[in-house]
Amino acid sequence: MADRRAPRHGRVDGRRLLIALLFLLLTMPVAAQELRVGTVSFPNSGAAAAQKDFIFGVAQLHNFQYGSAAQAFRRAQQIDADFALAYWGEAMTHNHAIWQEQDRDAALEVMQRLGATRKARRGKASTERERAILETLELLYGEGEKHARDDAYARAMEALREDYPDDLEIASFTALAILGTAHEGRDFATYMRAAAIVEDVFARDPRHPGAAHYLIHSYDDPIHAPLGMRAALAYSDIAPDASHAQHMCSHIFVASGMWEEVVQANLNAVAATNRARASSGRAPSGCGHSITWLNYGYLQLGQRSKAAELIHACHRDAVAEKNALPVFDPDLSSQASFVTMWARYVVDAEDFDSETARLRAPLAPAQVQERMTVAFVEGLESARRGSAAGVRQALATIRETRLGTERLASASELTYELRAVARSAVLESQMSALLARVEGGMDAAIEHARVAVDLEERMPFMFGPPFVDKPSHELLGEILLAAGRDGEAVDAYRAGLARTPGRILSVEGLAEATRRATHTGTPNERP
């Protein structure tokens, strides 16, 4: 019989090797399942067999792929019914901090499955760190008004970060919690506080999906976009199978006027989305967030036929959509998504009489935002034809739908709804300017356009393609050019390009205004 005793030298103890390998697997960054969505290191007391799903869920939580993350956390729970952090993760999928959205009832249902009371839930955690992480949910989804809960949650996460200064997951989720306290819209001070935290995470782990993602959000405006370029260039490689990660890179590219990069990032995002849909037997979607940004990128490159192709595909989905409800976020409805894409096409391509321009979606009376957008585009077309009657009709519809927008948003705390109300006031002033111009009152047209500029500048900052379909500075520049006030038009276009860098109509308008001002010797207001 062979001697089974291990010699003192030259042979490794198998049991010790197995333990060492198991420890390494549990503590090293884990690639999330077969999909490439980023890697994280999140030590916990869950069962070894549940780790793969848990780590995948955390990575997808950072990528804002909330449905995929929730499924992964539930799989981890099925493997280990007492895995406290798997319930924490699923509950976190119901809080969308950047978007100021929260489904408190759904989150509380998840927490109830972990334990019926706060004490019972706390008792399921095996370590003090895990108990502290669970406790933050009690604040985020506790009693009281959402904004107050967001603030309390952010303070708790900051305190947790002080207790665990080397924990990159706690640091990342702290930065996200701080971003979620910008209730009135983009606040540079708040966003820079978050950036300071997540910059450290990114420096320590340049492959961390949350670090890259939250840096992009922190720097997502024309002023700070150069600081976010490193993260934007890295994020697509960090999580190539996460469609939102691919799209997020384009936030910095839009803020920098990098249109070819905008197009490629969103082509990547659409491809990732369609791969995921195909894996579950679903057909590609014709509408959606990445597609609307892709459409805008094509328009800024002057690739009208490609933009029109996207719009016709989305139109097919919009026509097939049944019982669409009024929404403020166009990504929540095929009809709303179509109207957004169509309006940008007609306005930016200045194409008012093509097959694409004549498309319409079947809108219900309650879809006030979409009806307002259609009315604005039709009013702009009437102004181009010199039809005062058409502009008056559009203005009347905008005023009517503005009241509807205010009623729908009156009880809401969501920033998007508040922006929609502000946008309706801008569109009313813009249409008033167009009416005055058609009727020959250029001074009144300029005054109304300046009011629109002032209203738009006071709106909470909205990242991405212009939230107002025809940026007010651009409209003011066009009216000033028509009035022969070329130097003032130069200033208007410059101010607009500071807000929407590289926007093609403003670039062309600035070039024309500068040419005319130089030719006539008309001074502009800036030195």
> What per-residue confidence (pLDDT) applies to 223?
95
Flag whether pLDDT at 16 surpasses 60: no
Distance between CA atoms of residues 452 and 427, nearest Å: 7
Return the DSSP state at 322.
-
Given 3-state DSSP classes, what are the helix, strand and coil percentages for the chain, each rounded to the nearest 5?
70, 0, 30
pLDDT bin (cut points 50, 70, 90) of residue 21 is very low
Flag whether pLDDT at 188 surpasses 60: yes
pLDDT bin (cut points 50, 70, 90) of residue 416 is low
Among 361, 377, 372, CA closest to 396: 372
> What per-residue confidence (pLDDT) applies to 265?
98
Count of Cβ atoms closer than 10 Å to residue 148 Cβ? 12
Q: Report helix, strand or coil for 239.
A: coil
> What per-residue confidence (pLDDT) applies to 1?
35
Distance between CA atoms of residues 18 and 53, nearest Å: 22
> What per-residue confidence (pLDDT) applies to 10?
36
pLDDT bin (cut points 50, 70, 90) of residue 403 is confident
pLDDT bin (cut points 50, 70, 90) of residue 29 is very low
> What per-residue confidence (pLDDT) applies to 367?
83
The CATH topology of domain 29-234 is 1.25.40
Strand 95-96 relative to strand 39-40: parallel, antiparallel, unpaired? unpaired
Distance between CA atoms of residues 285 and 39, nearest Å: 28
Flag whether pLDDT at 18 surpasses 80: no
Tokens 């406290």 appear where?
Answer: 84
Count of Cβ atoms closer than 10 Å to residue 243 Cβ? 28
pLDDT bin (cut points 50, 70, 90) of residue 366 is confident
> What per-residue confidence (pLDDT) applies to 179?
97
> What per-residue confidence (pLDDT) applies to 186?
84
pLDDT bin (cut points 50, 70, 90) of residue 184 is confident
**Is residue 447 within 8 Å of residue 417, measured between CB atoms?**
no
> What per-residue confidence (pLDDT) applies to 449?
98
Averaged confidence pLDDT in the chain: 90
**Is residue 476 within 8 Å of residue 450, measured between CB atoms?**
yes
Among 291, 323, 330, CA closest to 307: 291
> What per-residue confidence (pLDDT) applies to 414?
58
Report which listed range, 165-174, 179-188, 367-376, 401-410, is most confident: 165-174
Q: Please give the backbone phi and psi of residue 240, each rounded to the nearest 5 degrees, phi first.
A: -65, -20
The Cα-based distances of 13 to 17, 193, 279 in angstroms read 6, 50, 44
Q: Give pLDDT tens digits for 458-505.
A: 987 778 999 999 999 999 999 999 999 999 999 999 999 999 999 999
pLDDT bin (cut points 50, 70, 90) of residue 456 is very high
- pLDDT (mean) for 177-198: 94
- pLDDT (mean) for 16-45: 60
User: 5-14 — which CB contacts under 8 Å span 24+ positions?
Assistant: none
Q: Give pLDDT tens digits for 434-454.
A: 999 999 999 999 999 999 999
Residue 102's Cβ-side half-sphere holds a number of Cα atoms within 13 Å equal to 27
- pLDDT (mean) for 171-183: 97
- pLDDT (mean) for 262-281: 94
> What per-residue confidence (pLDDT) applies to 185?
81
Q: In residues, how long is the chain?
A: 527
Flag whether pLDDT at 3 surpasses 60: no
> What per-residue confidence (pLDDT) applies to 7?
33
Q: Per-domain residue ranges for the chain?
A: 29-234
DSSP H or E run through 101: strand 101-102
Three-class DSSP labels, 154-205: HHHHHHHHHHCCCCHHHHHHHHHHHHCCCCCCCCHHHHHHHHHHHHHHHHHC
> What per-residue confidence (pLDDT) applies to 368?
83
Query: Who contacts 46 (Cβ-Cβ below 8 Å, separation ≥6)?
Result: 54, 76, 80, 83, 84, 85, 86
**Is residue 339 within 8 Å of residue 361, measured between CB atoms?**
yes
**Is residue 335 within 8 Å of residue 417, measured between CB atoms?**
no
Flag whether pLDDT at 14 surpasses 90: no
